[in-house]
Amino acid sequence: PPPTIDLPLAAYVPEEYVSDLNTRLSLYQSLAKLETLDQIKDLAHEFSDRFGSLPIEVRNLLYSVKIKILAAKSGIESISTEEGQIILRLFEGMRFDKQKLEPVSKDGIKLSTTQLRLNPKRLGTQWQQMLEEVLGRLG
């Protein structure tokens, strides 16, 4: 099954950006069907062409879809936000490969055999890039 993603980001298509409800719903349906990073880029260009520059909420939404695709390739069951930390959990029976993650081990990242915790407060503005890098190393 696809991973569940709950990041501490405002991720949606604002009514001010796309006023027509049916069009917004259609955009969400398109987002749900994305399976590759290239498809995300293509859809981002389509959004820009049709509706203008992307507001932060839409950029966050596209980022969340990107994370979901990367997580699916990495054997991640869920990415959730709990007590201010972002927690990556593997499917039952799977274990994190600590050697693959050694280069990204630093303050703000805690690794156990079944979950990895990112602390956005310690990582600052780099937490999103770090999450992508971790998933890239796992995938």
Span 7-16, average pLDDT: 97
Q: What DSSP designation does 139 have?
A: -
Measured between alpha carbons, how far is residue 36 from residues 5, 7, 70, 88, 120 in Å?
A: 16, 20, 9, 20, 26
pLDDT band at 92 (very low <50, low <70, confident <90, very high): confident
Q: What are phi and psi of 8, to 5 degrees?
A: -80, 60
As given in the structure block, the two tokens for residue 57 are: 């909420």
Most confident of 27-36, 98-107, 110-119, 120-129: 27-36
Q: What's the mean per-residue pLDDT of the chain? A: 93
pLDDT band at 86 (very low <50, low <70, confident <90, very high): very high
Q: What are phi and psi of 87, to 5 degrees?
A: -115, 125
pLDDT digits (tens, 9 = 90+) for 16-62: 999 999 999 999 999 999 999 999 999 999 999 999 999 999 999 99
**pLDDT at residue 105 tops 80:** no
Amino acid at 90: L
Pairing of strands 115-118, 85-90: antiparallel
C-alpha–C-alpha distance, residues 113 and 89, integer Å: 10
pLDDT band at 93 (very low <50, low <70, confident <90, very high): confident
Q: What is the pTM of this model?
A: 0.92
